[in-house]
Structure 1
Amino acid sequence: MTHFFKFSLIVSFLANSLFAEAAKPNILFILSDDQALETLSIMGELECKTPHLDKLAEEGVLFTRAYNMGAWSGAVCMASRAMFNSGAFVNRANQTVRKQPQWAQIMHGAGYKTYMTGKWHVPGKTAKNPPFDVVKDVRGGMPSQTEAGINRPLSPEDYEKGWKPWDKKHGGFWEGGKHWTEVTAGNAIEFLADVKTIDKPFFMYVAFNAPHDPRQAPKEYVDMYPLENISLPKSHQGLYPYRNQIGCGKQLRDAAIMPFPRTEYATKINRQEYFASTTHMDHNIGRVLKALKESGKADNTYIIFTSDHGLAVGEHGLVGKQNMYEHSMRAPFIIVGPDIPKGERNETAIYIQDAMATSLDLGKIAKPEYVEFKSLLALIEGDKSPHYPVIFGKYINYQRMILKDQWKLIVYPYAKKYRLFNLEKDPKEMKDLSDNAEYKAVLESLKLELKELQVQMGEEFDFENPPPIDYAALKKFKKKSH
């Protein structure tokens, strides 16, 4: 073999390698915080307006039953993000995210330029230094909340003289002078303006803090939602009967944002601000999507949009995400990109944390053994088999949940109470069937399946005989819930 021929082979190999690298798709992952599925106006349920996310859903596949698996602490978003970035299920994620390569590190190892801006809130050694090639304006768990933003509003008079979401003096999202939602979008746009000069595929992790409380937005967005146009949730009630036994009483920071009991007025004000924050974020997501198109990279980019969980804001007399109801367990999940069908809705039950495995599949990257969540590509391509036979949910030791087909069983170990719902007939979970003798067999079957599922999840907690509550830990809990 001549030296020239050897040289030609080397050049050809390098050229093919570079082409393969360039052909890898880009991944743009956009994550919101505390956004329930029904806030998407395309769902047709609430007054909330999300035109850019609606358009994104029309350009791809919208999964309408995307669940968070739960949390080991009041900071549900921290547990959720540990699962996103480790790929491990809830009972193993806290350790896996500390010991194994994270999502961004896997992407980097596969030749991706990795970028992150916005909320991180992932436990472990990377808590302050996310493992991306480029990090801009990394944020912690939540914008600072003030006493003025808690237990409000007590009345119209209290509202008039009190905290306002557009008032910059309260800090929070306004800390630094520019709203964090706008900062995060601006950072992503800045990176997208430079991607033409990057000779690698990119993985972007763009994490908004909105619409998490303090639910602040410019006044024009609040004005979009006159109070008389805000409807009360169908499941609205003043006080949730088991709030103290399930960890959602006054000791929980999220629960204390609104007054007890949950008045119609306070509920409407908080939903008004929730919608305003969501619409403001939607506008800024639109800016990012426009920048992607202008970058010339859109045709080879997959976009995955989701949130870390949902939120109650008055549903069932609850406010936060620390519960097993659909409004708090489900989040939007949209995927758009080359070869992704347009305008489809998929009602298969998935986990929002399937995002990582899906991105690895899209990039033809081997999935590490410790990644337990699954790729969605088979579902997108038309696979009709159950993605997960059952869906699991937990909240510390206060709550457990199992979802199978149309049936959901919620367990309150310390209240010694079960709640059984038929989601097909009762999607808003307003008719508890647990005490109905007609459904006793269903309830007992789900209890057995939940116990089997706990074994698979690596959990030894006996929900029928729970250990005593650690009241010392509970006192610290109020400050740590995000």
Structure 2
Amino acid sequence: MSNSIVLISDEHNPFYSAVYGHSFLRTPSMERLAAEGTVYENAYCPSPLCTPSRSAFMSGRRVHELQVYSNCNVGLRTDFPSYGKVLHDQGVYTAHFGKIHVYESAKRLGFTEIHHRKEHKKPGDKNFSRRPLAIRKDAAQRADGYGVKEDAFDGDLKVINEALNWLREVAPTLNQPWTMTINLLNPHFPQWNTQEYWNLYPQGGDLPRYGKEEESANHPYARDLRMHFQTDLFTEEQVRGLRRGYLGNVAFIDDQLGRLLDALQESGLKESTNVIYTSDHGDMLGKFGMWWKCSLYEDSVRIPCIAAGPDFAKGKRVETPVDSHDIQASLFHAAGAQRPSHWAGEPLQTVKECDPERVVFSEYHGHGTRSGAFLIRKGDWKLIYNAEAPHQLYHLREDPDELNNVFADYPEKAVELETELRRICSPELEDERAHRFQQEQLRLLRDKAFENETPAGA
């Protein structure tokens, strides 16, 4: 049996790291972890939005099963046990530090202990209407969120410092297997840096290679998101500043990973502990004129996944697609604990290095698009099945930037991937189910009934 640490950043597009091929951004701690362990080259989140993605990871369930579609936390079901509770009930010590943002309050999740919990107060985000499509009126102002603030990282430093103290002082005293989950807020927008980190990458203030002129930028859902977030109003100066600040945020996260690896070494627990670095979703960073998450394009839906420790081979790179559910399943495998059979995912430890038949699924039903979308990744192929817009098919080995939708050119491949989708859910039924649920959430908001709410529906 092994212990496990999962460090989860917020909104880290993996392509913005040396491990995943960035041309000049150095991430030495991620490179160190990769050299000591395994890089999963094609990792995906369950949904490219904070609360749905984190809720799926917490519960082992698909987003459409949970009905956590957006960052609104009104009317949600709370009867899904967390992985922290299921492990705790089997004698595994479970510690959680930092951001929560899931379907249930932190104190009811059942972890052995939780520290510095950052939770969304009700009602959470109210700008999720899709019928009609909400426009986020203050969104363009977010584009000014970059530059230098000397307290930029104070919140994350409080979380990581307490986690490292726990690792040094508590973990060595435990006579049972344990897991530690650390959730940090960076590199999530706004892109504030301390002066030290702002100075690291002045060349990072560049422009995206692919902009609003691309075909993929003008898909109806992409146009919806650009309108919802008012991103067409961003100036060149703002785009450059946000991109530069993002690199500083990633560098900060990399340094905290390095501190974690050093503390693990110093505590004498390295040989018995797995470390996994990941994130809840990615960030478009101006590609196709789009910002932040909410899209099933690669920059938004992909996540880093680097794992090292007694359960993982050194210097290995796995092509087979994986997702956050597989990361969560790894905690059970390491601890020798029983995981509920109906939960999604399998342990990273048992995923084959190159399995062209393995299917990964993601979905999006949140703010900024007129209707739902579903993703299937199988081998080199990726299908985005859009409920109210043309479907998209990409061959990612030949077209990693998703510039050419070949849905009409490969009808047999499109049918094959749609068949895989329908083995998981009915996209029509789940899309309409999401709309009904959100209409009930909007009613609760109008009636201000969410303080004494009941579940919004099934």
Answer whether TM exceeds 0.5 for this pair. yes
Equivalent position amino acid for 2:210 in 1: S
Q: CA deviation at 1:361?
A: 1.2
Equivalent position amino acid for 2:111 in 1: F
Q: 1:310-459 residue pairs with structure 2 within 5 A?
A: 310-379=282-351, 382=352, 384-386=354-356, 388-389=358-359, 391-396=361-366, 397-414=371-388, 416-434=389-407, 436=408, 438-455=409-426
Structure 1 residues 452 and 339: alpha-carbon distance in aligned structure 2, compared to 1, 3 A threshold: closer
Q: CA deviation at 1:346?
A: 0.4
Equivalent position amino acid for 2:413 in 1: V
Q: Distance in 1 between matches of 2:162 and 2:44?
A: 29
1:137 correspondence with 2:116: yes
Q: Distance in 2 between matches of 1:274 and 1:238?
A: 24
Higher Rg: 1
Q: TM-score, normalised by structure 2?
A: 0.80
1:109 correspondence with 2:80: no
Equivalent position amino acid for 2:27 in 1: T
Contact 1:238–1:262, Cα closer than 8 Å, also in 2: no
Q: For residue 166 of structure 1, what is the aligned residue in structure 2?
A: 148
Q: Distance in 2 between matches of 1:44 and 1:136?
A: 34
Q: For residue 90 of structure 1, what is the aligned residue in structure 2?
A: 63
CA-atom RMSD in angstroms: 3.5
1:272 correspondence with 2:244: yes
- CA deviations on 1:438-461 (whole Å, 9 max, x unpaired) are 434433554454344424x8x714
Q: CA deviation at 1:62?
A: 0.6
Q: 1:276-287 residue pairs with structure 2 within 5 A?
A: 276-287=248-259
Give the % identical residues: 25
- CA deviations on 1:58-103 (whole Å, 9 max, x unpaired) are 11001011111226xxxx1111111111111222235898324311
Q: Distance in 2 between matches of 1:233 and 1:213?
A: 17
Contact 2:179–2:331, Cα closer than 8 Å, also in 1: no
Structure 1 residues 84 and 64: alpha-carbon distance in aligned structure 2, compared to 1, 3 A threshold: same
Q: For residue 189 of structure 2, what is the aligned residue in structure 1?
A: 213
Q: Distance in 1 between matches of 2:142 and 2:55?
A: 34
Q: CA deviation at 1:287?
A: 1.2
Equivalent position amino acid for 2:64 in 1: N
Residue 273 of structure 2 is aligned with which of 277, 284, 301? 301
Equivalent position amino acid for 2:380 in 1: Q
Q: For residue 225 of structure 1, what is the aligned residue in structure 2?
A: 201
Structure 1 residues 114 and 392: alpha-carbon distance in aligned structure 2, compared to 1, 3 A threshold: closer
Structure 1 residues 42 and 139: alpha-carbon distance in aligned structure 2, compared to 1, 3 A threshold: same
- CA deviations on 1:284-314 (whole Å, 9 max, x unpaired) are 2211221111111111111111111111010
Q: Distance in 2 between matches of 1:218 and 1:57?
A: 27
Contact 1:361–1:375, Cα closer than 8 Å, also in 2: yes
Q: Distance in 2 between matches of 1:97 and 1:189?
A: 33
Contact 1:391–1:404, Cα closer than 8 Å, also in 2: no
Contact 1:31–1:305, Cα closer than 8 Å, also in 2: yes
Q: Distance in 2 between matches of 1:472 and 1:108?
A: 33
Match of 2:329, SS state, is: helix
Residue 191 of structure 1 is aligned with which of 147, 166, 171? 166
Structure 1 residues 197 and 269: alpha-carbon distance in aligned structure 2, compared to 1, 3 A threshold: same
- CA deviations on 1:5-61 (whole Å, 9 max, x unpaired) are xxxxxxxxxxxxxxxxxxx42111111110111122122224333111111111100
Equivalent position amino acid for 1:407 in 2: W
Q: For residue 202 of structure 1, what is the aligned residue in structure 2?
A: 178
1:70 correspondence with 2:47: yes
Equivalent position amino acid for 2:257 in 1: I
Q: CA deviation at 1:338?
A: 1.0
1:237 correspondence with 2:212: yes
Q: How many residues align?
A: 418
